[in-house]
Structure 1
Amino acid sequence: MPLAFGTPPADPGAIVDGIAAWIGSAPLRGLVERFGGRWPTGDLAAVLAGLDDFSAAHWDFRGGRERPDAREPALDPSTARLVWDVATALGLVRAARPALPRYAHLLVLGGLAHACLRRVAYAAHLLRHGVGVAGEVAVLGSFRPLSEAERSILADADVVGADTEVDALDAAVRLAFGVTRPAEEDGVDAGHPHHSWSSRTYHPAGAPPVRVLAAPSSEPQRRRAHTADTQRFWAGHARLSSGDQLLLVTHPNYVPFQHCDALRTLAVPYGAGIDTVGVDPALPDPARLPEPTLTPGRYLQEIRSAIRSMRALHAAL
């Protein structure tokens, strides 16, 4: 039951129908039952709230920590296989091609260091293989500090001197697009990464402009900038028009939750069409880094992320 409410711009009724179909699907119901839950009663808002609470109790392995620090649950082989099957059915495993030949803008979503390199390289691959972009490629991240493990991964790809997520994204742009210096730079150093922002724009030959953007947090006293913050901040710079088609690049396991975040931050307020695709793991990686193996716990965590994102999207309609 992959998401079916993306490009072209979806009206609120279509979005609600899409949420209801994904949330109420047989695979998700079976997963809740396997973990000892009863399906929530009531309207869609009540079901989303109930699943949010249930997933917090059973599928939240982060506990407020960053994703690499999440614990891995001990699952029996049968349950682990079920998680994989459900994740596949819900659209978290297989990569899909872009739905359209041309978009107004292409957005690359930041993440862990490996993902930064892989997603930017995949965006460059899509451009080289026929996906048209009329506006810009926006590479969106934050000033999240890199872990030692991430620094080691970057070193294996001959990337040194990166301290934050946006540094990793900037290095990825230089590698994938063959650029060395930004043509334009802007930003504000507010003395704290949760308040600061930066923008660097490159002009690679034969490609649209590529902007690397680090967003401030919308709740700087509580946390760093997250995915929705970066999308919302970019939209404030991009002058979106109703009907603009946007292509988002992430990894397959994040597609449902980040697609719904984009619907909430870009489609609902601006009338943009959203198409969210995951990196195709079958494609060669120019950085020659091994693709991380996703565990059942990681899939459960991102199913929870999707539930929470759909709940926020539904509340915004």
Structure 2
Amino acid sequence: MRDLVDAFGGTVPVPTGETATSSLLAWLDDFSDGCWNFRGGAERPAAREPDLTPEGRALVLSAAEALGLVQVAKPLHQRYTHLIVLGGLARACLQRNSYAAALLAGGFVGRPEVAALGSFRPLTEPEQALLTEHGTAGGETEMDAMDAGVQRYLGLREPDDDESSLAPNPHLSWRIRTYRREGAPTVRVLAAPSGDPTRRANTADTQRYWAERLRLTPQDRVLVVTSAIYVPFQHADAIRTLGVPFGVEVDTVGVEADWSHEPTLHQPVTPGKYLQEIRSGIRSMRWLVAAVQEAKAPTTAPA
């Protein structure tokens, strides 16, 4: 991280005291906003790519690998009570469900219940074309893409239950499709209401909603499946939304960009995308530290 910051004209400070971690993350957040924020509030696919020298590109790729954004992370344990597959673009919905299915089929994670977490984000035309190419046409939202991935790779057909609540404000709607098979763990595909009625639900909203519906306890152990490039920020988010309030142990694994026997699911990752997600990791870790500090803060009884 120090080498990366140096290359972009900064010098990482060395804060001290009880707030050293918070101060360092705040500094990195501000610095990365000026250097590595290529989205400007837009969706990830719309982020611009920076103009880097060959040496700069090599440094970014080296830093991304050292920071855990490149290679597949193996599960820490051989048994989990819950496996969460995080949604994204249609390509990621299929690839992550494929990887989760491989973990389950190989017996690497036990027999956890499965939750595929999507949203009501409308699919773009290229995403719908990709689903058609993979024989899973007909979806309109990210949740539909997650459902298609679950059906395709876990060998499921029609859900046993399909619950939903369509609110006048679409950001407050929710839907859960539940699959049950004799002798197999329950599988749920869901989209959650947003914690902020002015925006679409994000991953933290969806994880929190899922955890509250299932009433997680400290006896649970959760494995999160995402893409390797997103592991740092989504692991921090999962600890903040699941580990801190519910006391569960959280592990996060990432799928490499070129993992899968289906080349059409491979997603090349550029240096700009790595820089953007290094920034995402910094911000999520900053929010996690704040959440832990808040949870540890003594409460004062009313007079």
Residue 119 of structure 1: aligned partner: 96
SS in 2 for 1:103: coil
Number of positions where the alignment pairs a residue of Structure 1 with one of Structure 2: 288
Residue 59, structure 1, aligned to residue 36, structure 2:
yes
Following superposition, the deviation at residue 40 of structure 1 comes to 3.5
Gaps of 5+ in 2: 293-303
Following superposition, the deviation at residue 191 of structure 1 comes to 2.8
Task: Select which of 88, 94, 103 maps to 2:71.
Answer: 94
Aligned-CA RMSD value:
1.5
Task: Select which of 35, 40, 53 maps to 1:76.
Answer: 53
Distance 2:270 2:254 in 1: 17
SS in 2 for 1:274: strand
Task: Select which of 204, 211, 217 maps to 1:235.
Answer: 211
8 Å CA contact 1:40–1:51 kept in 2: the answer is no
Deviation per CA, 1:119-173, whole angstroms, max 9, x where unpaired? Answer: 1111111110013445510111111111222222222212211111101001111
Following superposition, the deviation at residue 290 of structure 1 comes to 3.8
Distance 2:95 2:180 in 1: 20
Residue 299 of structure 1: aligned partner: 274
Provide closer, same or farther for how the CA distance between residues 162 and 290 of structure 1 changes in structure 2, counting only shifts above 3 A.
same
8 Å CA contact 2:99–2:260 kept in 1: the answer is no
Higher relative contact order (CA 8 A, sep 6+): 1
Residue 169, structure 1, aligned to residue 114, structure 2:
no
SS in 2 for 1:81: helix
Provide closer, same or farther for how the CA distance between residues 280 and 297 of structure 1 changes in structure 2, counting only shifts above 3 A.
closer
TM-score normalised to structure 2 length: 0.91
Distance 1:88 1:284 in 2: 20
Query: What is the identity, as a one-letter code, of the residue corresponding to 1:39?
Result: V
Query: What is the identity, as a one-letter code, of the residue corresponding to 1:197?
Result: W
Query: What is the identity, as a one-letter code, of the residue corresponding to 2:7?
Result: R
SS in 2 for 1:106: strand
Distance 1:75 1:54 in 2: 18
Deviation per CA, 1:35-74, whole angstroms, max 9, x where unpaired? Answer: 1112235321111111111111110111111111111111
TM-score normalised to structure 1 length: 0.87
User: Which structure: larger Rg?
Assistant: 2
Query: What is the identity, as a one-letter code, of the residue corresponding to 2:195?
Result: S
Residue correspondence of structure 1 range 88-167 to structure 2 within 5 A: 88-167=65-144
Residue 195, structure 1, aligned to residue 168, structure 2:
no
Task: Select which of 219, 223, 248 maps to 1:247.
Answer: 223
Residue 268 of structure 1: aligned partner: 244
8 Å CA contact 1:40–1:46 kept in 2: the answer is no
Gaps of 5+ in 1: 1-27
Aligned residues with identical type, % of pairs? 54
Between stretches 253-262 and 172-181, larger displacement belongs to 172-181
Distance 2:55 2:182 in 1: 51
8 Å CA contact 1:178–1:204 kept in 2: the answer is no
Residue 34 of structure 1: aligned partner: 7
Query: What is the identity, as a one-letter code, of the residue corresponding to 1:312?
Result: W
Distance 1:181 1:284 in 2: 25
